[in-house]
Structure 1
Amino acid sequence: MAYLEITLKVSNQNRQAAAGVYKKYREPFLEQIKGAKSKQLLIRDEDVQVLHGFASVADANAYLESSLFTQDVVKELTPYLDGSPEVRVYDVVE
């Protein structure tokens, strides 16, 4: 198991639109991306995080290079961001 955590700086006025992008691509992510297990939107005052669960670190890294991520998600989210996202991949040790 692995997790991809993407932290986004999104102003309050743009959060609803950014959440719409999350909702739009949640099901395609779970249905089309190899090794995709889960996807959650985490919101706090400071930022918004999208936590993706994968079968492996390789699957998480492959998603970051997929057209769904680079051409669809990133393209639609970019107008709502107040800075560059922080991207982290974690391997789960059991």
Structure 2
Amino acid sequence: RKAIDAKWPMPRANLDDFMKHMLHAIEVAGIDHVGVSGDFDGGGGIAGLEDVTDYPRITERLIAAGYSRDDVAKVWGGNALRVLKTAADARTAK
């Protein structure tokens, strides 16, 4: 496996690629429908987002792109919490 990987390395996305996709998702779906999560179990990954200590780079890029702190808070969990609350409220309303 190491010999194959050395001869034909797997290309990795980088932070610029990630942000291009995130900003496109926000443009298409809206800021109320985008969130960030991660899977850092050692496989694949994004160059420049190796672990959660690199997450502030996403915040910096969103602010630089003109998004407000409230918008950034939505991406960092606010949207997920809103959806979970809506689902919980719907379940208890039955």
TM-score of the two chains, using structure 1 as the length reference: 0.28
Q: Which has the higher strand share?
A: 1
Higher relative contact order (CA 8 A, sep 6+): 1
Q: Which has the higher helix share?
A: 2
